[in-house]
A and B are shown apart, each in its own frame.
Chain A
Amino acid sequence: MAIHERSLVDPERVLRKERLVIDGVDVSGDWNLIILPRVINDYDLEFLDEVLQQPEGKTITQCYQCSYCTASCPVHNYWDERYNPRHFIYLARLGLIDELQKRADVMWRCVSCHKCTHRCPKGVLVEEVLKAILRVMAKRGIIEEYPSKKFDKFFLESVYEYGRIEDGELLFGWVEKQGYQVVKDPILKKPIPFVGGVPDWLKQLAAKPLKSMNIGFLVLNAKHMLFHPRTKNWNRFKQVLRKVMEEEGVFTH
């Protein structure tokens, strides 16, 4: 049997059985298709309260669903119909959490171009509001941390550890974090560049600047990768930084 309005039916609600017997009656064949009902049973109204507590979330109540934002969004055109800023706002306002969750994997694709915010006739700071919604979702553990967020965290950890950034270590450390097999030196346990399961495109990408680098700089870089220098007195500054970051809720470790 055909399902009409297929787009409205989530795959997990479609049950198809080879043989189906209900109350002793064999209904296999044409009637072997069951679509489970999908009814909204309640709103989660605290979600909106949480969005409103974010400084960027305040303008969310101004939206009247005209859709100027979505129509002007460059990402919307290149992504599936689930990427819809206007819709995210609507769902967040009513606290339709499961609907938001269904879109969790596309919501972070906003490129922060702010076209939406500039067009909105109601003065909703759309891009900011989306970020506030994402933050609340992340806080609730509804949304998986998205890749750029993960990188930000890795970057931050590196700065936090040494008080500075070492490009090579950052790059190959990140490659390792992505699950590639990297070979490490036996003493300091640092990843050795270009060795192991590093993907070819990355090897090419990293090799390009090497060709134009002067030898002294290259050696310095290699040395820094193995013996990572720290900013002077970093340990003392780290304590202060840690306190500030904890107070601001940036991280908690």
Chain B
Amino acid sequence: MAKSVLVVGGGPAGLAAARTLGKLGIPTILVEKEQKLGGRPVIEDYHTLIPRKMTPQQVIGPFIEEVQNNPNIDVKLGVELEACEGEAPNFKVKLSNGEEHEVAAIVVATGFQHFDAKRKGELGYGIYPDVITNLELEQMFSREGKLYRPSNGQLPKRVAFVFCVGSRDRQLGVTNVHCCRYGCALSGLQGTEIREHYPEVDVFCYYMDVRTYGTWEYPFYWAPQEKHGVRYVRGRIAEITYNPQDGRLRVKHEDTIVQRPAEVPMDLVVLVLGMEPSEGTKKVAKILGLAQDPDSQFLVPAEDAGSNIISNKPGVFIAGACKGPIDIESSLSEGEAAGAEAATFIGAKVSA
């Protein structure tokens, strides 16, 4: 029997791994615990993706199609990895639908979950309807096609983005000290979208420092300010309150450039959420005995590998946001790399 590879997780990273393996003619099993492929961007209806300003369907759709149409790939939806015995290249895996398979290598691409904004109670999420998350803003755009204040359905006059909610924050414990990596750039894009469609709405970004990596700097930091009039304020919002007199929120912060506390009215506040390892990632780490960062619980690559897709367990490869915040393009290329690495791993054994 030809040796096969198991890919866990059908998000960008898992899809790319399965697609590469399938193209190389390797029998591949792709398990995805949801009923749909595509990972967070597809399942949760992101609107427009950084950096190419395309929809999830445009970016991830072709990968989904190729994976579904490749006879080498066996896609199992609503299925999770439950147990694993043995060592590479003879893993015996048990799935949640009761099936058992023998595989020679495993690619883990179990992704992340969004930070729960209720944990930062001072920001008023879950208390004031006009405090929403950036995920909800994406869904407002993609599902309803318009911008409004949840409290009264009207167009906000002012929108504030609060950067780094659930990221770079030791108050949450050591688990959330990392940078979410996409937040600054996505806010630049969302701010731009708002200003393009509603030029009368003022947009403010409250930041500690702005991290729009590499080539994202111009389109998602400068263009929003220079072309679209998004305003950046240095100073992190510490508290959000509500003023019943005018029905508007008040964002309390210190403007650290002016060195002055401020309490400014806003109509809609968008919390820029950090990423945490998904439940699936933590579960799979236990099942396979993968090394995890003691603080964040994200998976960590083998120390001596010099590559971030090689795990501490021979024959197990890790890709995408299960290792920490990462963008979609990088998740896709890591998935491809992990797929190729898995292929050479089993190929080497075959020829030996």
Binding site for B on A (CB under 8 A): 8, 37-43, 45, 61-62, 64-65, 87, 90-91, 93-94, 96, 99, 122
Contacts and interface: CB of A to CB of B under 8 A. Distances in A.
B118 to A, nearest CB: 27
Contacts of A96: 255, 258
Nearest to A62: B226
Given A62-B222, A65-B234, A94-B233, A42 B264 contact: yes
B258 A99 contact: yes
B222 A43 contact: no
A173 B259 CA distance: 45
B100 to A, nearest CB: 57
Contact of A40 (B226, B234, B264): B264
Contacts of B263: 39-41
Interface in B208-235: 221-222, 225-226, 229, 231-234
Contacts of B202: 45
Contacts of A45: 202
A40 B258 contact: yes
A42 B231 CA distance: 14
Contacts of A61: 225-226, 229
Given A61-B226, A62-B222, A93 B231 contact: yes
A252 B226 CA distance: 34
A105 to B, nearest CB: 18
B265 interface: yes
Contacts of B265: 42
B257 A65 contact: yes
A39 B261 contact: yes
Contacts of A40: 255, 258, 260-264
A38 B261 contact: yes
Contact of B231 (A37, A62, A87, A94): A94
Which of A8, A38, A39, A122 has the largest number of chain B CB atoms within 10 A? Answer: A39
9 contacts: A8-B260, A40-B263, A62-B222, A62-B225, A64-B232, A87-B257, A90-B257, A99-B260, A122-B222
A62 B225 CA distance: 7
Given A43-B264, A122-B222, 19 more contacts: A8-B260, A37-B261, A39-B260, A39-B261, A39-B263, A40-B255, A40-B261, A40-B263, A40-B264, A41-B263, A61-B226, A61-B229, A62-B226, A65-B257, A90-B257, A90-B258, A91-B258, A96-B258, A99-B260
Contacts of A87: 257-258
Contacts of B260: 8, 38-40, 99
A65 B233 CA distance: 11
Nearest to A96: B258
A42 B222 CA distance: 24
A230 B173 CA distance: 82
Interface in B251-307: 255, 257-265
Contacts of B233: 94
Contacts of A99: 258, 260
A14 B329 CA distance: 56
